[in-house]
Structure 1
Amino acid sequence: MDTQTVKKRPPYRIGVGLAVGVLSWLLPYVGVNSTLLPRLLQQIAPAQKVQIVAELATIGMIVAAIANVIFGALSDRTRSKRGKRTPWIIAGSIACAICFWLITITTSIPVLFVIWGVYQAALNAVVGPLLAILSDLVPKEFKGTISSFYGIANSVANPLGTIVASQFLTKVTMGIWTMIAIELILGFLSVAIIHEPGNQDAEVEPLHGKQLLEAFIFPVHGDLRDFYLALFGKLLIVAAHYVIVGYQLYIFTDYMKMNAGKAASSLSIMSTILMFAGMIFAAVSGPIADKIGSIKKMMVFASIVFGIGVLMPMFDAAPWTMFAYAIIGGSAYGIYNSVDQALNVSILPSKEAAAKDLGILNLANTLGQILGPIVASVMITAMGYRLIFVAAFVMCVIGGILFQMIRRVN
């Protein structure tokens, strides 16, 4: 009886480890990508800052598209005393920290492009394997609950990265060093908490010819319809979020005409609202999804409400509209983050290629974080800031429609 009771409990330790792991890579990424790096560009290339942000995003998108698949596939086939995911998480965290350090000592834009490309590769060596732990170690009946840990961390890391980074707008190098410490400390803590079992004795099936090719490409067998609907739906939602987050500093300074001090204060307020709204709704949404047995409905609802949130700054170039976005959008993004990974593991074409396929699904997150600023840059350059919020709203609506079309998940 006691054994059965233990088996029926969600594996909360894994959930905590996943949450710490998400904080380890996402908080530094958001802090550097959305605040510290744009601020650095204001200092070293003020006239080209908007264009350079878009170019960095393009480089990141190309590298991430390749690295996500490669590192996921390599992780699936890794055998070690620490398991198949842990070695990649550790190595990737160290490489990310080195790239951040290099950013602090260069003033060359071409060199910065190279460093950012290497960083994106290292980042995806962490992200794909970390996500695969949810598929590897969590029973189906608890995926929504444990996914909520991921969602809480995601909801916290996005705004907290901005809150922390905004304290260093006048001390960019110190801010990046802070992100290095977070990356390393939390990355190592994550794998220690998860304590992935060793798999050095597990067999690895040799790959030849067609099998070798398929191990490193997008899935081509199995039930693929829902897989690709989820992929593109997620891409649009995350891109909509980063249309705003990727240019949030410039929205306050250029669109709302605020000085650096007031912009930093407003960023902190907005990010705090985002963090608490997202955290609260992420905490309750995963268990609710498990209870009602409907991940899809939660995703569609979150998409629609998030669309309303991202539209708010269009109505007035004043800080209150960004705070309204934080309340509405933050709540919806918390719901989305809570059930996002539960949806992912429910539509995988093959469990044997879990990390590779989850890496591809995670491209929606990675590429969305990159596509959003690219879309925003093009629209800002052509038509100004106001219409980027309309574009984000349209992305949310289309994303919700794609989620509604999924069949295998209720």
Structure 2
Amino acid sequence: MTTTGTSPSPTITTPVRPPTNSEQVRTPIRLGVALALGAVLWLGPYLGVVGVLLPARVAIIAPDDKAGVIALLAIIAMIVATVANIVIGAFSDLTRSRWGRRTPYLIAGSVGTAVMLIAIAQATTVAAIIVMWSLYQVFLNAIVAPLLAVIADRIAPRHRGTISSIYAFGYSAGLYGGQIVGAQFLGNINTGFYVFAALTLLSGPVAALIMRETSSRSMPAMRLNRRTLLDNFSFPRRNSRDYYLALFGKFLIMGGTFAVSGYQLYIFTDYLRLDDASTAHYVTLISTILMVTALAMAAIAGPISDKLGTRKMPVIFAAVLIAVGVFFPFISPSPWAMIVYAVIAGIGMGAFNAVDQALNVEVLPDQKTAAKDLGILNLANTGGQIVGPVVAAAISAFGYQAIFPAAAVLAIVGAVLVFAIRKVR
């Protein structure tokens, strides 16, 4: 007996849970490449703007108040980013669409950030810059939180170290390359803003095109009630002990790192007593060392973590290296000591960046709120970068030499918190 007609083609949908080790035998390199390209295309422009072009723009508009305006923008960015990470991450987790949960936000975030950068380039008042910078932070975090969630969505545990390493490669390239590129546009600031707007515009679409997220329509819809709202639009409240240990451990390790690297200009001029030419030479040299070690460790630390089946130990090892590195300029206020610091701490920072995201995914209290919770964890990066130099400034009142043991203590306490995590090896 023959039947006529056509059968509907099967619909490929986003799974409710990440694949298991047996389901994902091969390392999904394509997803790693998507994450790395997405990261370098948002982080590079961000650091080029915040470190070079935005201060230059503010100096033109408000030359007498530029330091205060930059400090205000940093505070606003931290507040807006915190709220945006929670809200946008939550909406991303709850989204059910033919394009998946993450892709709509990656696209909208990329377009929005590009528009805001162009607007900042045209701003003529401090008030306008504050408004545009706040909106920029909202759109930027529409890229960051959903992009990180892809590791939780689509990577089996056995591959998370490798994928975290690939992501870290792009992250490190943006981290160290953004300001180098931005400095090339100091003679033409507006052009720099336009170039960075174009690069950021590519971030979400490039990542989305490569990762090819599938429909999320078949995923269970969430009922909006009091419990759902609390779960999806607040900090984690249940089964979150390890999550907060990872959050504050990361915050302290990053704080220890940036207490030195974020304050290195004054360390060279006021602690090592170098002239301007020598300072410029050593700042460039150390930045290069940090970039090379970060990229090298990004290539190897994650796969080693997968091979050994551990996340905690590479992170703890990284924090210890940071603490050991700062010991050298503590005992000797000499350029060679800062170079040794850069090599040792650079290896530590590279290893940390390479394995950190894998650890973050594995301490999530609930897979269903991955984007929101990973977005909050990512705030420890920004918070550490801000708090580190603040700690260094406060400690320097007792002498610049005191900065180094303070940085070591922050890193070691961070390592102790990570060591206390129970459910991750």
> What's the TM-score, normalizing by structure 2?
0.85
Matches within 5 A, 1:157-176: 157-176=174-193
* 2:254 paired residue number: 238
Q: Please tell me whether residue 102 in structure 1 is matched to residue 105 in structure 2.
A: no
* 2:3 paired residue number: none
Deviation at 1:35, TM superposition (A): 3.0
* 1:359 paired residue number: 375
Of the candidates 359, 369, 372, which is equivalent to residue 388 of structure 2?
A: 372
Letter in 2 for 1:272: T
* 1:332 paired residue number: 348
Of the candidates 316, 323, 326, which is equivalent to residue 307 of structure 1?
A: 323
Deviation at 1:31, TM superposition (A): 1.6
* 1:30 paired residue number: 47
Asked whether the equivalents of residues 268 and 274 of structure 2 are also in contact (C-alpha less than 8 Å), the reply is yes
* 1:135 paired residue number: 152
Spell out, residue by residue over 1:229-275, the C-alpha distance to the aligned partner (whole angstroms, 9 max, x if none): 0000111222333445555667667876765x877665544333222
Residues of 2 paired with 1:187 and 1:267: CA distance?
Answer: 33
Residues of 1 paired with 2:23 and 2:229: CA distance?
Answer: 40
Letter in 2 for 1:392: A
Aligned length, in residue pairs: 404
Letter in 1 for 2:104: P
Mark the CA change 1:119 to 1:377 in structure 2 (over 3 Å): closer, same or farther: farther
Residues of 2 paired with 1:234 and 1:404: CA distance?
Answer: 12
* 1:203 paired residue number: 220
Asked whether the equivalents of residues 129 and 355 of structure 1 are also in contact (C-alpha less than 8 Å), the reply is yes
Letter in 2 for 1:397: I
Asked whether the equivalents of residues 35 and 165 of structure 1 are also in contact (C-alpha less than 8 Å), the reply is yes
Letter in 2 for 1:307: A
Matches within 5 A, 1:210-225: 210-222=227-239, 224-225=240-241
Deviation at 1:51, TM superposition (A): 4.0
Mark the CA change 1:188 to 1:243 in structure 2 (over 3 Å): closer, same or farther: farther
Residues of 2 paired with 1:262 and 1:195: CA distance?
Answer: 49
- Percent sequence identity over aligned pairs: 44
Residues of 2 paired with 1:396 and 1:71: CA distance?
Answer: 30
Q: Please tell me whether residue 291 in structure 1 is matched to residue 315 in structure 2.
A: no
Residues of 2 paired with 1:327 and 1:220: CA distance?
Answer: 40
Residues of 1 paired with 2:341 and 2:257: CA distance?
Answer: 10
Mark the CA change 1:169 to 1:394 in structure 2 (over 3 Å): closer, same or farther: farther
Deviation at 1:39, TM superposition (A): 4.1
Spell out, residue by residue over 1:43-80, the C-alpha distance to the aligned partner (whole angstroms, 9 max, x if none): 55556544443332221111111111111110001122
* 2:27 paired residue number: 10
* 1:77 paired residue number: 94
Matches within 5 A, 1:383-398: 387-398=402-413
Deviation at 1:207, TM superposition (A): 1.6
- Segments of structure 1 that go 5 or more residues without pairing to the other structure are none
Spell out, residue by residue over 1:119-175, the C-alpha distance to the aligned partner (whole angstroms, 9 max, x if none): 222221111110100010111111111111112222222111122123234433333
- Segments of structure 2 that go 5 or more residues without pairing to the other structure are 1-20
Larger Cα Rg: Structure 1 or Structure 2?
Answer: 2
Q: Please tell me whether residue 347 in structure 1 is matched to residue 356 in structure 2.
A: no
Letter in 2 for 1:283: A
Residues of 2 paired with 1:44 and 1:93: CA distance?
Answer: 27
Mark the CA change 1:7 to 1:358 in structure 2 (over 3 Å): closer, same or farther: closer
* 1:111 paired residue number: 128
Mark the CA change 1:277 to 1:126 in structure 2 (over 3 Å): closer, same or farther: same
Of the candidates 62, 74, 86, which is equivalent to residue 57 of structure 1?
A: 74
Residues of 1 paired with 2:332 and 2:123: CA distance?
Answer: 38
Residues of 2 paired with 1:51 and 1:72: CA distance?
Answer: 31
Q: As a proportion of its length, which structure holds more helix? A: 1
Of the candidates 288, 299, 306, which is equivalent to residue 272 of structure 1?
A: 288
Spell out, residue by residue over 1:324-353, the C-alpha distance to the aligned partner (whole angstroms, 9 max, x if none): 443222211110011101101111111111
Residues of 2 paired with 1:36 and 1:318: CA distance?
Answer: 32
2:255 aligns to what SS in structure 1? helix
Residues of 1 paired with 2:357 and 2:110: CA distance?
Answer: 21
Residues of 1 paired with 2:260 and 2:410: CA distance?
Answer: 12
Deviation at 1:94, TM superposition (A): 1.7
Residues of 1 paired with 2:63 and 2:295: CA distance?
Answer: 35
Asked whether the equivalents of residues 65 and 363 of structure 1 are also in contact (C-alpha less than 8 Å), the reply is yes
Mark the CA change 1:212 to 1:289 in structure 2 (over 3 Å): closer, same or farther: same
Residues of 2 paired with 1:57 and 1:298: CA distance?
Answer: 31
Letter in 2 for 1:370: I
Mark the CA change 1:50 to 1:70 in structure 2 (over 3 Å): closer, same or farther: same
